[in-house]
Amino acid sequence: MTSMPTSVAVRAPAKVNLTLRITGRREDGYHLLESLMVPVSLYDDIRLTVGSPGEGAPLVACDVAGPEKVEGGEHNLAARAARAVLDEAQCAGMVLHTGVQIHIFKRIPAGAGLGGGSSDAAAVLATLPTMLGMTEVEPGRMHEIALGLGADVPFCLASTPAVARGIGDELEPIIDFPETYLVVAVAPVHVDTAWAYANALKSLTSGAKGRTDIGLLARSADLSRLLCNDFEAGVTQAFPEIGRVREGLLNRNACGVVMSGSGAAVVGMFDSALEAARAAESLGFECKTFAVQTIAERPAVGAVAVGDVAARESERHEPNK
């Protein structure tokens, strides 16, 4: 008797960089960094279904719907994560006759320094092994798999406030990180990460400052005084729209503002959820805005009835395949 497919729903949170310092460069060209990274309450919704792929169907299928337009298919990072999990299961001696279907409802803006694709991939890595009945993957091995997909994926897999060092893969979790109210505002431009590394860094002077205990400072100091990003000056010079978003947040009483990653998202820090919501609504006439707060851990996985629709009825969009 063929078993029914198993479906679960999982939320993939966005991340923001509250600090980002470039501390050096490796011989292979990768830049070294130190960054205070936090997950926030802006989510992609993902439904994972495991079952027979059907004749002629791909082993891993991925479709994307929602307000943010991102391609699905085998090259989507979540699909690549599923393929990596299936490969790991086979290496462990499992004989699988199973396909994986991934449905993503996309809310996190792409290419904005918010880690949406990395978080989607991390959600698959965190969820799919259990669905396949795999024994627990050794944490070090799962970290290797995550890093092979992208430098931000290990952080998104942990999904807890942390200081990232190295190329972003060395993580120092921060316990008792203070709940913080933010507005994420996305300027209407696309900043290519490779361009930012090649053109927006005037020098690597941050490295001379040495290692700082950002985790301790984040728990004990005014967070708004820590905000910094080595990319921000160069990126803003090339994309003045980002500077205008920054000014818009400051004009709405943000107590601190910083660009996330290499842009184009800008993060404003507010004293209360109400102030953040008001600022997001006001600035929303000029750019995409989201009133969010920091979260301490990955949202729980929820069961989904077979045949359930991933997105709410009011949020239906045609898939971006």
Strand order in the sheet with 288-293: 256-259, 265-270, 181-186, 288-293
Identify whether residues 169 and 185 lie together within a single domain: no
Tokens, residue 57: 């169907």
Position 316 in a domain: no
Tell me how far the alpha carbon of residue 92 is from its chain's centroid. Answer: 29
**Element containing residue 149 per DSSP (H, E):** helix 139-149
Domain termination residue (choose one: 173, 205, 237):
173
Q: Is 247 domain-assigned?
A: yes
Judgement on whether residues 158 and 225 belong to the same structural domain of the protein: no
Predicted pLDDT of residue 17: 97
Q: Which residues of the chain are modeled with pLDDT < 70?
A: 1-5, 54-56, 95, 203-213, 215-221, 303-321
Residue 301 falls inside a structural domain: no
> Is 119 in the same domain as 217?
no
Query: Are 188 and 244 spatial neighbours (Cβ–Cβ below 8 Å)?
Result: no
Q: Are residues 135 and 165 in the same domain?
A: yes
Residue 300 inside a domain? The answer is no
pTM of the complete model: 0.88
For 208, counting Cβ atoms within 10 Å of its Cβ (0-12 exposed, 13-18 middle, 19+ buried), the class is exposed
Catalytic residue among 44, 120, 152, 230: 152
Classify residue 311: in a domain, yes or no. Answer: no
pLDDT in tens, 301-315: 875 433 333 333 334
Our answer to whether residue 321 is catalytic in this structure is: no
In this prediction, residue 56 carries a pLDDT of 62
Write down the pLDDT at residue 203.
56
From the candidates 15, 44, 106, 120, give the one annotated as an active-site residue.
Answer: 15
Number of C-beta neighbours around residue 274 at 10 A: 11
Same domain, 165 and 200: no
Identify the domain containing residue 240 by its residue range.
181-293
Contact 320, 70 (CB under 8 A): yes
Whether 15 sits among the annotated catalytic residues: the reply is: yes
Q: How many domains does the chain have?
A: 2
What pLDDT is stored for residue 19 in this prediction?
95
pLDDT of residue 196: 92
Q: What is the CATH number of the domain that holds 219?
A: 3.30.70.890
- Which of residues 173, 201, 224 is at a domain's end? 173
Q: Is 220 exposed, middle or buried (0-12, 13-18, 19+ CB in 10 A)?
A: exposed
